[in-house]
Structure 1
Amino acid sequence: MSSKQALVKVGISVGDFNGIGPEIILKALSDKSIAEFYTPIVFGSGKLFTFQKNIFKLQTNFHYINSAAEAVEGKINLVNISKESSNVTFGAPTSESTKFAIDSLEAATSALEAKDIDVLVTAPINKDEMIKEGFSHPGHTGYLEERFKKKGLMFLVSEDLKVAVLTHHIPLRQVPEQITKEQLKTTIKQLNQTLIEDFQIPRPKIAVLGLNPHSGDGGTIGTEELEVIQPAIKEVADNGILAFGPFPADSFFQPSNHSKYDAVLAMYHDQGLTPFKTLAYEKGVNYSAGLPIVRTSPDHGVAYDIAGKDLADATSMNEAIFTAIKIYNNRKEYNNLREHRLVPRKTNGREGMDEDLPRN
């Protein structure tokens, strides 16, 4: 058997092809040497990508396969999920482009379940249009939670800033009722474990934001901080997790503040994502944390306004790919260390302990 380590197999779903999904995929894979670092497996259509290659004058060469199990190292693989021509209408979703996005995601997820790919990177989708076509989830994370039977955590990450959100895609008026002490404790614990396993931070420091302006101003602008958030932070802190707060969200994201912490937990979507996307910009990655699989995506949307104009930047797609690979390798190393961690040898009643031995 060869001692060469297998490359990580990166599955990529194409998103809405009337947006910038195929363009940023092509640009991310345009360097011929990319297949020396990982094995790309795109779930799309040869005819669709040939059309888009001609539009953007890119020379990405695909190795066409019928399933991810046939992927070849050193090649840019494309699982041909459709042999029909696609009617591309840049700048506007159609029933065809939406159904194709669903088919691509489902095919890639099935390959992930079968372990034919190691990680999943998803190009942007139009959530509203997908729901109209029968997709019953407001985003990728909810869909993957159902497929893999575990609650996930929306986590936006970059090299310098990591922000998780307690509540995901729900109306703002529903946020306060979703913030419970138990939910907060569970999420902080999940975030703490994610930072340890997936980002190799042994003792993470987590900042928790308040819900109300000025974190409630001592109860004068809401009582959630005093009654729910602060008690939850104290309970997890008493159990050894380095959680701090609640901090006022309006002033927290100054670099001198957030740089003191390894991650931030925001109470709702825009409270966390607005500053993250402003500060991280093209380097940001959306990560579905807490699941038994690794899924990332660029932190931007379908960008219909620039679709087909050769203006899309693939930086965030590249960041999503390499972040997924890094997380996969970190998690693999963590699990390997746990499996072979040292345990005390039985002493048969003798005083003292023998030297630690690896567990069988």
Structure 2
Amino acid sequence: MSVNKPAIGISCGDINGIGIELIVKAFSDTRITEICTPVVFANNKTINFYRKFAGEPNFNFNNVKDFTRINLRQVNIFNCWEEEVTVTPGVLNETGGKYAVFSLQAAVKALQEGAIEGLVTAPIHKSNVQGEAFSHIGHTPYLKEAFEAKDVVMMMCAQNMRVALVTEHVPVKDVASHITTAAILSKLNLIQESLKKDFGINKPRIAVLGLNPHAGDEGLVGYEEETIIKPAIKEARNKNILAFGPYSADAFFARGQYEKFDAVLAMYHDQGLIPFKSLSIGEGINYTAGLDIVRTSPDHGVAFDIAGKGIADPASFLEAVYQCVDIIQHRYEYQDQRSNPIKKVMPEVTAKLIDEKIDE
């Protein structure tokens, strides 16, 4: 596929949730095929079922069973199953999870084989996907295993902020036991690498939050900041990572300090995601940093309460598609600069020569 127009795989998510409705709405605007070639891993009958709810009767697609038949100018539906499936919008059942896994497995296989260049995942429900084929608590750990990554980091991205997590879907009572200097350092390394490679930021600044109220108050309200988090920040800075903190989470977000940083590393799920969803500007997305491939997703769940009602908003899903394309492009540019380092200094050299010419 073209560097400027990558093939983007789309997993359909829980077929009883809003995922397929979002896909139909998002790709009804044919202009999106000018920036990427969408490949939806689902079934054409299931797509047609939701097309009537989405209010997009003119949504057209190319039905394919192998990647040699992909139409570069159209949405492509790669059929992952042929059998008749009963779709029940808004219902949590085994069927919804089963076919969500079928879709994800097919998309991952296509990524591994190089048939697509990026992946946007529609939401799944963590309880009904569990089984022999999927024993993870979400997309992130599943993709980490599938692509044999040593570590990954869940990073929420919006127009005005990026928030990454040390721990993800871990019970609050267990969070502290997962906070280690090694874990924090690993996440900081991944965040720095991703900000450079995936977002084009040469010298990223990363804020690190404390675990306890008031960032431990110098040991009065917990010891993790003094014995774990501060040593991790010090070691990170010794490795040329511009990490700062630890900051008290409440004051950090309330005073808008996040605006001074390229990313924020939170210790646990709600510490990072509540302020992100409250303060982010524009549509937020979830990005998995640390993988060899690019994976994004909208920042919401299956929304069973509105499934099949035709009112689901595709804005976050669309942003996930745009970001997936942008990150792929950033990676090509980053690789090009690394293989041709002179390109990094060319603008400065050109400007200097122009100045010298003017002086003459």
TM-score (norm 1): 0.91
Is 1:144 aligned with 2:134? Answer: no
SS in structure 1 at match of 2:293: coil
Show the counterpart of 2:59.
60
Is 1:167 aligned with 2:164? Answer: no
> Distance between the aligned counterparts of 1:178 and 1:48, measured in 2?
41
Show the counterpart of 1:199.
199
- Provide structure 2 residue ranges, at least 5 long, that are not aligned to the other structure: 344-360
Q: Kindly report which structure 2 residues correspond to 1:198-217, keeping only aligned pairs within 5 A, or say none.
A: 198-217=198-217
Is 1:19 aligned with 2:30? Answer: no
> Distance between the aligned counterparts of 1:339 and 1:69, measured in 2?
31
> Distance between the aligned counterparts of 1:228 and 1:177, measured in 2?
11
> Distance between the aligned counterparts of 1:332 and 1:322, measured in 2?
16
Show the counterpart of 2:117.
118
Per-residue Cα deviation, 1:8-64 (whole angstroms, up to 9, x for no partner): 111000000111000111111011222122101000111111111122221210100
Select the structure with the greater relative contact order (CA < 8 A; seq sep ≥ 6). 2
Is 1:85 aligned with 2:80? Answer: no
> Distance between the aligned counterparts of 1:312 and 1:262, measured in 2?
31
The number of residue pairs the alignment matches comes to 341
Per-residue Cα deviation, 1:265-319 (whole angstroms, up to 9, x for no partner): 0001111111112223760000010110000000000000111111110000000
> Distance between the aligned counterparts of 1:195 and 1:120, measured in 2?
19
> Distance between the aligned counterparts of 1:69 and 1:335, measured in 2?
27
Instruction: Indicate how the Cα distance of structure 1 residues 270 and 235 shifts in structure 2: closer, same or farther if over 3 A, else same.
Output: same
Structure 1, 246-255 or 4-13: larger mean CA deviation: 4-13
SS in structure 2 at match of 1:130: coil
Instruction: Indicate how the Cα distance of structure 1 residues 309 and 282 shifts in structure 2: closer, same or farther if over 3 A, else same.
Output: farther
Per-residue Cα deviation, 1:116-144 (whole angstroms, up to 9, x for no partner): 00100000000111115751111111011
Paired letter, 1:316: S
Show the counterpart of 2:347.
none
Instruction: Indicate how the Cα distance of structure 1 residues 95 and 281 shifts in structure 2: closer, same or farther if over 3 A, else same.
Output: farther
Contact 1:69 1:116 in 2 (8 A): no
Runs of 4+ in 1 over 4 A off after TM superposition: none
> Distance between the aligned counterparts of 1:303 and 1:281, measured in 2?
21
> Distance between the aligned counterparts of 1:125 and 1:40, measured in 2?
20
Paired letter, 2:216: G
Aligned-pair Cα RMSD in Å: 1.7
> Distance between the aligned counterparts of 1:68 and 1:303, measured in 2?
31
> Distance between the aligned counterparts of 1:132 and 1:110, measured in 2?
19
> Distance between the aligned counterparts of 1:260 and 1:51, measured in 2?
46
Cα distance, 1:235 vs. partner?
A: 1.5
- Provide structure 1 residue ranges, at least 5 long, that are not aligned to the other structure: 344-360
Structure 1, 273-282 or 311-320: larger mean CA deviation: 273-282
Is 1:8 aligned with 2:6? Answer: yes
SS in structure 1 at match of 2:106: helix
TM-score (norm 2): 0.91
Aligned-pair identity in percent equals: 45
> Distance between the aligned counterparts of 2:255 and 2:335, measured in 1?
33
